[in-house]
Amino acid sequence: MRALLQRVTRASVSVSGETVGEVGPGLLALVCAMQGDTDTDADRLASKVSKLRIFRDDAGKMNRSVRDSGGEVLVVSQFTLAADTRRGNRPGFSTAAPPTDAERLYHRFAEALRSEGIGTEQGRFGAEMEVTLVNDGPVTIWLDG
């Protein structure tokens, strides 16, 4: 699985003008299941996200995790993270997992974060979504795993 994490002071996701998920301080996690990904991959990525030390400690150093900081995570599916741009000007997405597998893994990832004790909100898989965020830092981290 692949994730693009953004440390945020707040973030929300809307579908057709209705807010379906929002968080205060924490992370926006844009996630993509890749072909061949398994439940183990989703669990491992969620564990990594929950423990990644990218939040400030009392000395201002990035030394705390989202869990340590009491932050929340907004999880949004984004198959375009699988974009292959090596040839031509139109990205290919053939390395993304098929939709049924991707949806299952997306929900598995979010549930794994919840099981880590992290407040987790989600977008709506497969929907046209509007994501609003205030990036804190800015801090943006790419994770493959």
Active site residues: 78-80
Pairwise CA distance, residues 82 & 14, whole Å:
23
Q: Are 57 and 66 in contact (CB under 8 A)?
A: no
Q: Are 24 and 113 in contact (CB under 8 A)?
A: no
Say what the alpha-carbon torsion angle 107, 113, 117, 120 is, to the nearest 10 degrees.
-60
Beta strands 2-15 and 18-23: pairing type? antiparallel
Beta strands 119-122 and 72-77: pairing type? parallel
DSSP state of 138: E
Please, where are the H alpha helices in the chain? 39-51, 66-69, 99-115
